[in-house]
């Protein structure tokens, strides 16, 4: 399942959805709001081109499912205002064995970062800036 949400991510719920009787491995990835040293980050604003991002994440999920023989793959990305330490993205992959589950999880996060239309704005003591762009 793919989700883009303003609500807090519940990892336990995703793990529950990804469990399968024939899966011997469940790998989770959580991306969290990082305050780099001396940055003084106050919070992060996350924005999505929602319809296009869901379509892209669905495509990425299907690629991972078939490429690594995953049993399940759950992807949730936050939007809105996030505090330091909060989860921005969660990916949970289940597979018969750990190699496929790790590979599938890594594939999804790497592809998400390069293909999904999502943006982050850092608001810090010294001002604000869009990560990576205009």
Is 88 a binder of other proteins (CB under 8 A)? yes
Binding mask 19-58 for other proteins (x = CB under 8 A): ------------x--------------xxxx-xxx-x---
Q: Should residue 133 be labelled a site residue for other proteins when binding is judged by CB under 8 A?
A: yes
- Locate 120 and state its tokens: 């982050």
The verdict on 102 binding other proteins (CB under 8 A) reads: no
User: Of the candidates 107, 77, 103, 75, which has an alpha carbon nearest to the alpha carbon of residue 91?
Assistant: 75
Instruction: Give least dist CB 59 to other proteins, A.
Output: 12
Beta bridge partners of 41: 124
Q: Which residues contact 13 (CB under 8 A, 6 or more apart)?
A: none
Assess 92 for contact with other proteins (CB under 8 A).
Answer: no
CB of 23 to other proteins, least distance (A): 24
What separation, in Å, do the N-terminal and C-terminal C-alpha atoms of the chain show?
Answer: 31
Kindly state whether residue 77 participates in binding other proteins, applying the rule CB under 8 A. Answer: yes
CA distance 74 to 104: 11
SS3 69: coil
- Our measurement of the distance from residue 107's CA atom to the centroid of its chain's CA atoms, rounded to an integer in Å, reads 11
Binders of other proteins among residues 104 to 123 (CB under 8 A) are 109, 112-121
In the complex, minimum distance from the CB of residue 97 to other proteins, in angstroms, rounded to a whole number: 25
# residues contacting other proteins (CB under 8 A): 28
């Amino acid at each position: 399942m793919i989700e883009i949400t303003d609500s807090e991510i519940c990892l336990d719920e995703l793990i529950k959805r990804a469990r399968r009787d024939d899966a011997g491995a469940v790998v989770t990835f959580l991306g969290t709001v990082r305050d780099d040293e001396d940055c003084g980050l106050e919070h992060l604003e996350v924005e999505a081109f929602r319809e296009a991002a869901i379509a892209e994440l669905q495509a990425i999920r299907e690629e991972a499912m078939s490429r690594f023989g995953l049993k399940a793959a759950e992807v949730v990305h936050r939007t809105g205002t996030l505090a330091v330490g909060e989860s921005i993205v969660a990916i949970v992959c289940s597979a018969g064995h750990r190699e496929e589950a790790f590979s599938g999880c890594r594939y999804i996060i790497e592809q998400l970062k390069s293909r999904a239309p999502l943006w982050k704005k850092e608001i810090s003591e010294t001002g604000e800036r869009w990560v990576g762009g205009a």
